[in-house]
Chains A and B, each alone.
Chain A
Amino acid sequence: MPRPDAEPRHRTRGSDPGPRTTDHGPLGGRHERPDARAKVAGSTRYVGDLSLPGMLHAGVAVAPIASARVLALDTAAARAVDGVEAVVTAAALPGANLVGVIFPDQPLLAADRVRMVGDRLALVAARTPEAAWRAARLVEATLEPLPAVHDPVAALVPGAPLVHDGGNLVRTFQVARGDAGRRSADVVVEALYHVGGQEHAYLEPQGCLAIPEGRSRITIIASCQCPFYVQQAVARVLGLPLAAVRVEQAPTGGGFGGKEDYPSEPAACAAVLAFATGRPVRFVLPRELDMQVSTKRHAMVVRHRWGADRNGRLRFAEVDAVLDAGAYVGISTVVAERANVSAIGPYDVPNVHVRTRIAYTNNLFGGAFRGFGAPQVTWAAEATIDRLARAVGLDPLEFRRRNLLDDHRRRICTGQLLRRPVLARECLDRAATLAGWDEFHARPRAADTATREGMGIALALYGCNLHHGGQRLDRSSAVVILQADGSVVVRVGLTEIGQGNLVACQTIAAQALGVDPTAVQVWQPDTTTVADSGPTVASRGAHASGMAILDAVRRLRTRLDPVAAELLGCRREQVELAAGRARVAGEPDRSVTIAQVAAELAARRIEAIATGWYRSRPRRFDAATGEGEPYEFYAVACHVARVAVDRDLGVVRVEEVSAAHDVGRVIHRDALEGQIQGGVVQGVGWGTTERLALDHGRLVNPSFTDYLIPTFADAPKVNIAIVESDGAGGPFGAKGVGEPALIPAAAAVRNAVVAALGVELDALPLVPPAIVAALGDAHPFAWVAEEEHEHVRSETVAPGR
């Protein structure tokens, strides 16, 4: 069997099955995911599948308009509904009326003021879901409409209606580096991009189950990414110490960031109702309400002024971005922090001025979403790069090659020097080759047909794990227990939400202990079994839990190795663990099974449990200038998209996306490919069809019929090139991939569509009316679309590339 380190350093997915579980362990292989069999059999129990004796169902009454004063709330009719056990308004909360993660700006229940559609007015618990929702609809709110603001740029103009008393500007981030070169640019491109938001559309709606024990403590079982966030929120609204709130993560039917911050809110609601009634309360959001009230990817407005010299070298980049926080900050500051330092991509630019402002509006509030502010600014940056390439007359690949960071030019936006190797060019070449870039452009393409083909490229530089600003959260806990039969229990604080954290943790533990992965059981997180491990976000799940597992294994081995050495008759330093055995290094025939060692530990009553801990390396970062080390290390991704655009209908069909990813080291090959395939398709959906249609802050398309996510029939083919390298910081050298998989996809599609049509497109998503409007006079129905899409400017570019 090939050993992973004996294989070529950069590998492409083909029919290659990857290394199997053998002597070198499961790392990089494709063994079965531990959660797959139960899931295909339909026996995995999601929170909506759980019920308990006496359990009640929650419903919620929400505000139908975006800005209002609450004059009165009448709950009499709701209380009279048969089966209703409790109706709770702000006045009846046991603890703080507060669910904001970072800023204390969001009440659990609106008391006097409504700031967005979906603000909660009253909670209901009833014996059936039907009764709960009927009662919720009967809550009568007398609302006095107030002026509202729905445009984040307008919100920052003096005199705009105030969403909160302190003003609409929440915070400003910036990077200011260099200056002098700005005047030496030969070509300057200015552009204004309107980048839309996105609905997560996880297939399982938000849900949780609250189980009270008197009024002294409570268990929450929740569909969530961050059990520790839920724990904090519930403790605060109930007025309980953290230790009295136990949060167990239920198997979670997708998250993508949508179950990072938001689940704290339904959990707090269910907890309040559980305490009010003394009974278990299950709260599952119906799809339409889930889409209407949950957080979204932030819409952003991004203004660019970038310059290059005539040789195609970037001279300066000025970026001015405004992020629509919606009515509450939620985690917008952290999203803006990432957007701010991701604004110029993986390019070497001597002079950089970036400003990112966060504006309150009366829109639905923004939250975490795969990519976390980076996809929006990447979309803008890659559009501008293509414009500059055209302006200096260079092929988009060649223009990028001249400016990409590499082993010699390693200074990113913030001035931080990247660790070697910097694999941007490698990724570009691999993606371009997979896509057949040269062949595509050598082929003649018809210019007189309704369907036009195009190819576009985009790259992303992704800061792995949490930003400097969130460093206090960047730690993680693990527990490893060696059972008497040699099987292993692993507990971690980070969650499986579909992305493959269970299989990643299983692989890492099995690799470190030299056992078969089937000997390792990783259990869903529970806040009473591990210490606060921060959130499962920022593509940090496998990294942070993996590092903690490795630490736990190291500590366990301080007790295991001496016993094994005694059984083997060797020194403890000679003990190695592999292929399910403890053996003498260099003498594989002298071995005992791990099960024998485990039995011996049990017989001697030696502690067979160990905890592990991980925290990120401290870094230097100056928030005022934006200079320093926002992230510990980085991953690069390059996507090439091939599209066919129907000019008459304005319909974009994405045929193929070729994705090259610098992943450090593969942990589990199927999970890695699954992340890339899923991320690309989600990014393509965002870029093309997923339009959040807001009317005065109300989502008018909260259904899968009207909000179009990609289906089996329209998902592009995804080609994958995996670039491995030595020296990354994660477990066995792995880097996160969950978000890089999405970030450049929509930008590559945009550039492909521009290449196909020969007009610039500056608003995302590329829905048919936007395409038709951009075609301007060239399209018979242009006037219809232009009225709807006033920001879509038509600007003709040179045909071809």
Chain B
Amino acid sequence: MADRITITLTLNGERRSFETAPGRRLLDLVRDDAGLVGAKEGCGAGECGACTVLLDGAPVASCLVLAASADGHEVVTVEGLGRAGALHPFQETLVTHGGVQCGFCTPGIAVTGAAVLARGGDAADHARLLAGNLCRCTGYAKVVEALDDAAAKEAADAPA
């Protein structure tokens, strides 16, 4: 097996190449090679969701994804959620609804919530769709309120 491999992907909208060890996890590539430390390692075992990133638009636990398998794909981290220097609408409502306490789960939740919003659908499903992300501080209520509010705002802004 080669000592180093080259992985090329679109990271937060930018095409980037990394020389890295073949066994590396996507989480390590993002954090250590790209220096984007927003994604957190809460468990390293796919259980907590703190490391969630979007892979071709779908939320994945980056601690369980081989970096090599993202070669040629599109990855978005919490740092890339917002547009034009502004926070993503769900990041914004997390702030205004008080959905942030220690913040360690927050990047992962922001990423998953952004994917839920992009998919659209029924607000009644929000809690279930976020259930892959653990939070030990908030008791979840204000986070769900924040996602509901972001969805409502997005629906109101959508062209009729």
Q: A residues within 8 Å of B by Cβ?
A: 30, 32-33, 35-46, 48-49, 200-205, 251-256, 286-288, 497-500, 670-671, 673-674, 676-682, 703-705, 709-713, 715, 717-718
Q: Are B98 and A674 in contact (CB under 8 A)?
A: yes
Q: Smallest Cβ distance from A207 to chain B, in angstroms? A: 10
Evaluate contact between A253 and B104: CB separation under 8 angstroms: yes
Task: Provide the residues of chain A in CB contact with B48, threshold 8 Å.
Answer: 203, 287, 704
State the CA gap A205–B105 with chains docked (Å): 12
Contact A35 B139 (CB under 8 A): no
Residue B141 CB within 8 A of the other chain: yes
Q: How many residue pairs bridge A and B at CB < 8 Å? A: 173
Cα–Cα distance between A45 and B97 once the two chains are bound (Å): 22
Q: Mark B123-144, 1 if CB is under 8 A from A, else 0.
A: 0000110110111111111111
User: Is the beta-carbon distance between B139 and A286 smaller than 8 angstroms?
Assistant: no
A704 B43 Cβ-Cβ under 8 A: yes
If A202-B136, A254-B136, A704-B134 touch, whether A37 touches B78 (CB-CB below 8 Å) is no
* Other-chain residue from A42, A204, A711 in contact with B79 (beta carbon distance below 8 A): A42
Tell me if B103 is interfacial: C-beta within 8 Å of chain A: yes
Query: Assuming A40-B100, A204-B42, A256-B136, what are 17 further A-B pairs, CB within 8 angstroms?
Result: A33-B98, A35-B103, A40-B110, A42-B38, A43-B79, A203-B104, A203-B105, A204-B102, A253-B103, A286-B44, A287-B45, A500-B101, A677-B142, A678-B101, A711-B140, A713-B127, A713-B128
Interface size class, chain B? 35 or more
Residues of chain A with a CB closer than 8 A to B37's CB: 42, 45, 48-49
Chain A residues closer than 8 Å to B134, beta-carbon distance: 201, 203, 704, 709, 711
B40 and A46 contacting across the interface, CB-CB below 8 Å: yes
Q: Which B53-96 residues have C-beta < 8 A from chain A? A: 77-79, 82, 87, 91, 94-96
A-B contact pairs, 13 of them (CB 8 A): A36-B95, A41-B87, A42-B37, A42-B39, A44-B103, A49-B31, A497-B102, A498-B101, A498-B137, A703-B45, A711-B131, A712-B140, A715-B140
Docked complex Cα distance between A288 and B43 (Å):
8
Contact A674 B103 (CB under 8 A): no
Contact B98 A670 (CB under 8 A): yes
Shortest distance between the CB of B49 and any CB in chain A (Å): 9
CB of B41 closer than 8 Å to a CB of A: yes
Given contacts A41-B78, A677-B138, contact A35 B47 (CB under 8 A): no
Residues of A within 8 A of B107 (CB): 40, 42
**Contact residues, B132-160 vs A (CB, 8 A):** 133-144
Contacts of A703 in B (CB 8 A): 43, 45, 47
Give the contacting residue for B94; candidates A40, A46, A500, A713; CB below 8 A. A40
CB pair A36–B94 under 8 Å, yes or no, is yes
Q: Is the CB of A204 within 8 A of B40?
A: yes
Contact A715 B141 (CB under 8 A): yes
Q: Using CB atoms, name the residue of chain B closest to A707.
A: B47
Most buried by B among A203, A674, A681: A203
Whole-angstrom distance between the alpha carbons of A205 and B100 in the complex? 18
Which of B39, B42, B110 has the most chain A CB atoms closer than 10 A to its own CB? B42
Smallest CB gap from A657: residue in B? B139
Nearest 9 Cβ contacts at the A-B interface: A42-B38, A498-B102, A253-B104, A39-B103, A670-B98, A677-B139, A42-B78, A681-B139, A498-B101
